[in-house]
Amino acid sequence: MTSDTVTRPRRVKTRMRPAQRRTAVKTWANTAAIAVVALVFTFPFIWMFFTALKPEDEVFSSSPTFVGSEVRWQNFSDAWTLVPFGRFIFNGFFVSILGALLSIIVAVLSAYAFSRLRFKFRDRLFLLYVLTLVLPQEVLVVPLFIMMNKLGLVDTYAALIVPFAFTAFGTFLMRQFFLTIPLEYEEAALIDGASRFRTLWSVLLPQLTAPLSVLAVFSFIGYYNSYLWPLIVINSQDLATVPLGLSMFTGERGTQWSLMMAAATLAVIPSLIIVALLQRQLIKGVALGGFGGR
């Protein structure tokens, strides 16, 4: 070797420290646990999709398999045309969007009153309002139906939208987030001459985009998946929502399971799209928790 030869440095193998090794093992264990939980929750949807592609006589075969003897994409078109399923999805979207919007308006205004305004018996009234959450829907449907019948709203969109927009869940959720916002923001706006409505609209609501998104998604899914109340208050097929449409695949001659699974797969798509579009806001809203207060 000559003196001009450049010697390359030797690579030194670094070993993981015990603490780093334990951290890596915990990370892999957590990832595996999350994957298992995700698979458990998504397995029914995976089975539903593959069942929608099977022939009808193979849905309940003695040896169940994911894929049938043939892949029948025609089941989706048959499910769409056998009943007016496009109309049901439109009704579900229309009712869910308007219901979610009305729920947000009611929740924001009532939460602002219970968190910012000072009036007699405020906390007791709020506690009484929250206690209505323990009432099951089965208890409420009878008086609600009597009220809708007296108002002449049976078999209308209003009967599907209005009654369950005035629930305590949204009010409780938004009130907890309102309590996390310092009062100084509102006091500064009021000193500058802004009205309470202007303060609510321009100062407070821009800080509540995440909880508003959470409430919007929960309200939308609640309306979209509601079955008992539409079953009672709706008589015509033109106003039926998606859950009522799915029940139409069951008749006197039995249930058309492959078509029902195909229709259910189509019905899930709107909720998945909305959750995907609002994913960041949902994660932020859930992370905030909404359980702060003064």
φ/ψ of 195, rounded to 5, equals -75, 170
**Burial annotation 19-36 (CB, 10 A radius, 16+ → b, else e):** eeeeeeeeeeeeeeeeee
Mean pLDDT of the region 120-128: 88
Domain ranges (residues) in the chain: 19-52, 82-288
- Rounded Cα–Cα distance for residues 240 and 97 (Å): 16
Mean pLDDT of the region 144-154: 91
Question: What pLDDT was estimated at residue 47?
Answer: 87
**Element housing 95 (H / E):** helix 85-116
Does residue 294 surpass a pLDDT of 80?
Answer: no
DSSP-derived 3-state class of residue 255: strand
Does residue 7 surpass a pLDDT of 80?
Answer: no
CA distances from 119 to 25, 107, 183, 239, 287 (A): 56, 18, 17, 42, 32
Mean pLDDT of the region 140-162: 91
Mean pLDDT of the region 192-220: 85
Query: Per 3-state DSSP, what percentage of the chain is helix, strand, and coil (rounded to 5)?
Result: 70, 0, 25
More confident residue, 145 or 210: 145
More confident residue, 58 or 269: 269
More confident residue, 107 or 275: 107
Average pLDDT for the chain: 83
- Cβ neighbours for 177, distance < 8 A, ≥ 6 positions apart: 111, 208, 211, 288, 290, 292
Mean pLDDT of the region 8-32: 72
Closest CA to 210 of 131, 112, 287: 287
Class of domain 82-288: mainly alpha
Entry field: residues in the chain: 294
**Element housing 254 (H / E):** strand 254-255
Mean pLDDT of the region 276-291: 66
Does residue 53 surpass a pLDDT of 90?
Answer: no
Question: What pLDDT was estimated at residue 180?
Answer: 84
CB 74 within 8 Å of CB 262: no
- Rounded Cα–Cα distance for residues 213 and 206 (Å): 12
pTM for the predicted model, two decimal places: 0.79
Does residue 12 surpass a pLDDT of 70?
Answer: no
